[in-house]
Amino acid sequence: MAKRRSVRRTNQPKKEQEKTMSANISILGNAGRDASLKYSEKGTPVASFPIASNSFKNSPEGRVQVTHWFNVVAFGKTAETLAEHVKKGTHLLVHGRLSFSPWSTDKGEPRSGAEISLFSFEFVGSNRSGGQTDQEPTADSPEPDVPEFTGAAVPEAPVNEPFIDQF
């Protein structure tokens, strides 16, 4: 049997290619709390907030709402804008790179959380300063136990890149 050969469709060396692969994601949802603003050791503004997105599935009991939580992290001027305008319940569409960050609870139990490094965002509906909009109900699920941003081990990310350029 002939050995299968993999073909790379890029001129980049394999190590370089692996560095550029990422999972891009777009989430439509509501902020779980006001965006917080902190600064990295280099003085870069960093904003973070949880976002809840609802989906529905059919079950024997009927249609059931499922809420998924993600932590959004933004840098630079985008971070400052989010910190000023994103309040608990703000309805927005975020575009970014998805990653999973391991962390431990106060009791030492290992956990992992989904994090989105923001490329771009849009406010949805007429309510830009927070609060519930008519577009989608605020997530009914309690906010997950997500660690607060400490400034450690957060990579510097590109700021204000148009989402379409990421593909």
- CATH code, domain carrying 112: 2.40.50.140
> 118-156: per-residue pLDDT in tens?
999 999 986 554 444 344 444 455 555 555 544 444 444
Q: Is residue 11 part of a domain?
A: no
pLDDT band at 11 (very low <50, low <70, confident <90, very high): very low
Instruction: Reply yes or no on whether the pLDDT at 161 is more than 50.
Output: no
Q: Is residue 154 part of a domain?
A: yes
Q: Is residue 9 part of a domain?
A: no
Q: Is residue 41 part of a domain?
A: yes
Q: Is residue 144 part of a domain?
A: yes
Look up the pTM and report it: 0.62
Looking at the structure of the chain, the number of domains it has is: 1
Instruction: Reply yes or no on whether the pLDDT at 167 is more than 60.
Output: no
The three-state DSSP-derived secondary structure of the chain is: CCCCCCCCCCCCCHHHHHHHCCEEEEEEEEECCCCEEEECCCCCEEEEEEEEEEEEEEECCEEEEEEEEEEEEEEHHHHHHHHHHCCCCCEEEEEEEEEEEEEECCCCCEEEEEEEEEEEEEECCCCCCCCCCCCCCCCCCCCCCCCCCCCCCCCCCCCCCCHHHHC
